[in-house]
């Protein structure tokens, strides 16, 4: 095998040829004459063209080339001919032929049967008989002709395409001539002044490569803004602008009492089932609950009170003491409202929280088992549903979400209740982004809040509005183990309206 020609020698050969002949009509032929691949010559041509030493013109041609499967047929024969050649005069079983021919057996059987080159013994479909003696392998001849660059009939091309034995390949080569800066030998330009140059003084005679001031520098390794955190910060700022105070949300583990019972959610509610909630094995329960308040919650569940009939069931403390991963940050809201009720005299408050919650849900394009919940609430005298709608429209407009719809809904701890929908431009449909309502008296009055005090509240996931604002249609690209880092890197530094 001939040694590979160095790039410098390829360049020298090309320039010497152009210096003597002025033109190279076909770079493929010239590459063969140098004993190098066309790719090696192409790299040299591109380098010389960049310095206008040579001028190149592209020559493009589409040709049919053999697939790997077809190359095997061109060398060993078509499957049908291989099959017939493998059948002895007395015939052969399908199993024996398949073992001998391997992958080409099935293809060969179909083609040979279609050509009526084979038959089967009467009453024994497993024995394959040869019906012809001499066969001309037309397929092999066609493939060899195509491989050698010979002209092949259009019908033959169609047949080979149908059998997926050929594929179209685009070939590019070049015609070359001298450029305006042509030289018989390219001078190597210096790129840096070295210590040796300064010591010897030969830097005075060096020619330096021109600086390309339009070239891009190396990418700087920097941090990127995660869309989820950007929207979280924007929402925090909105809450602060609207006069809200942040609630402490550092307890991922919560008791069923604060997560469900204190919210007037019955103990037989489906949301309290293990199919929807992650319960802890250790510690499985808690005993740190306010006994006086717990007794009032028990009474309103069992027999009602404060104008309510209750649920009329046997409320169990054991169920309320079960520990779980909180399913919503409303558990934090319940604690804060109970704390507020103990403060005298009563003072109106606005609270918000943004933190993780956990639900035993099937993961899909719009749902995760672990996600972030945003919650806001206002506690004051005389609040109405109209106040809630007005606050929601103000809140979401500041977030850049203007298309809102409200739909009546049911929640155990709010009445009236509304689902919040926003139009998702990416999905081209209305998507539920949150829930809202007015906390029920059965929840508020056992805490000790004064008569006439109402609480309007709403909750939504952080992921949904982020998906809407960024046009993301799969929540797993945004948060979790399958997050799309390219999406994060390409996210804008800031957003108008956010």
pLDDT in tens, 376-434: 999 999 999 999 999 998 988 887 777 889 999 988 889 999 999 888 777 788 888 88
Mean pLDDT of 93-110: 88
Residue 222: pLDDT over 60 = yes
Which domains occur in the chain, in start order?
1-57+172-211 (3.30.1370.240), 79-136 (1.10.10), 227-490 (3.30.930.10)
Contact present, 235 and 469 (Cβ < 8 Å): no
DSSP annotation string for 145-173: HHHTT----HHHHHHHHHTT-EEEEEEEE
Question: Distance between CA 361 and CA 370 in Å, rounded?
Answer: 9
The strand ranges marked E within 210-360 are 245-246, 253-255, 323-325, 349-358
Question: Distance between CA 455 and CA 444 in Å, rounded?
Answer: 8
Q: Report pLDDT for 495.
A: 53
450: which 2 tokens?
Answer: 């004064």
Q: Report pLDDT for 492.
A: 65
Distance of CA 303 to the CA centre of its chain: 52
Residue 498: pLDDT over 50 = no
Q: Report pLDDT for 334.
A: 94
Q: Is the pTM of this model over 0.85?
A: no
Q: End-to-end CA distance of the chain, in Å?
A: 67
* Count of Cβ atoms closer than 10 Å to residue 257 Cβ: 23
At residue 337, φ and ψ (nearest 5 deg) are -65, -40
Q: What is the per-residue pLDDT across 26-69, written as a single tens digit (0 to 9) for each?
A: 998 898 888 888 888 999 999 899 888 999 998 888 888 888 88
356: which 2 tokens?
Answer: 């993780």
Residue 478: pLDDT over 70 = yes
Give the SS3 label for residue 16: helix
- CA angle centred on 369, ends 364 and 371, rounded to 5°: 100
Counting Cα atoms < 13 Å in the Cβ hemisphere of 22 gives 0
Give the SS3 label for residue 249: coil
């Amino acid at each position: 095998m001939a040694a590979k020609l160095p790039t410098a020698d390829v360049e020298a050969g090309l320039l010497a040829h152009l210096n003597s002949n002025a033109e190279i009509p076909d770079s493929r032929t010239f590459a063969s004459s140098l004993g190098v691949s066309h790719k090696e010559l192409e790299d040299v041509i591109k380098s010389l063209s960049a310095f206008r030493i040579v001028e190149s013109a592209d020559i493009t041609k589409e040709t049919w080339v053999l697939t790997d499967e077809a190359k095997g047929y061109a060398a060993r024969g078509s499957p049908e001919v291989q099959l017939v050649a493998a059948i002895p005069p007395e015939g052969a079983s399908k199993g024996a032929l398949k073992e001998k021919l391997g992958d080409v057996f099935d293809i060969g059987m179909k083609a040979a049967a279609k050509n009526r080159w084979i038959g089967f013994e009467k009453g024994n479909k497993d024995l394959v008989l040869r019906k012809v003696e001499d066969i001309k392998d037309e397929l092999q001849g066609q493939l060899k002709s195509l491989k050698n660059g010979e002209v092949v009939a259009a019908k033959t091309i169609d047949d080979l395409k149908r059998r997926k034995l050929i594929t179209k390949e685009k070939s590019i080569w070049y015609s070359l001539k001298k450029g305006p800066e042509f030289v018989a030998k390219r001078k190597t330009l210096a790129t840096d002044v070295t210590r040796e140059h300064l010591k010897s003084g030969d830097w005075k005679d060096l020619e330096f490569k021109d600086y390309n001031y339009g070239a891009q520098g190396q990418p700087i390794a920097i941090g990127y803004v995660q869309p989820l955190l950007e929207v979280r910060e924007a929402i925090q700022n909105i809450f602060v602008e609207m006069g809200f105070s942040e609630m402490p949300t550092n307890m991922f583990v919560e008791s069923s009492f604060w997560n469900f019972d204190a919210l007037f959610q019955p103990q037989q509610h489906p949301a309290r089932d293990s199919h929807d909630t992650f319960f802890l094995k250790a510690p499985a329960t808690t005993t740190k609950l306010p006994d006086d308040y717990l007794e009032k919650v028990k009474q309103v569940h069992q027999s009602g009170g404060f104008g309510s009939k209750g649920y009329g069931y046997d409320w169990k403390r054991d169920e309320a003491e079960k520990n779980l991963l909180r399913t919503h940050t409303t558990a934090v809201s319940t604690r804060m409202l109970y704390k507020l009720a103990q403060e005298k005299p009563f003072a109106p408050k606005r609270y918000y929280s943004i933190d993780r919650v956990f639900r035993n849900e099937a993961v899909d394009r719009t749902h995760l088992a672990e996600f972030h919940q945003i919650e806001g609430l206002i506690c004051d005298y005389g609040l109405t549903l109209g106040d809630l709608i007005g606050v929601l429209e103000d809140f979401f407009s500041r977030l850049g979400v203007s298309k809102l719809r409200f739909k009546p809904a049911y929640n155990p701890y709010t009445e009236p209740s509304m689902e919040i929908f926003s139009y998702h431009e990416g999905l081209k449909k209305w998507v539920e982004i949150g829930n809202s309502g007015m906390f029920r008296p059965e929840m508020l009055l056992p805490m000790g809040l004064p008569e006439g005090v109402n609480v309007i509240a709403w909750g939504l996931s952080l992921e949904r509005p982020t998906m809407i604002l960024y046009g993301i249609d799969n929540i797993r690209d945004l948060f979790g183990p399958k997050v799309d880092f390219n999406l994060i890197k390409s996210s804008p530094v800031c957003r108008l309206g956010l």
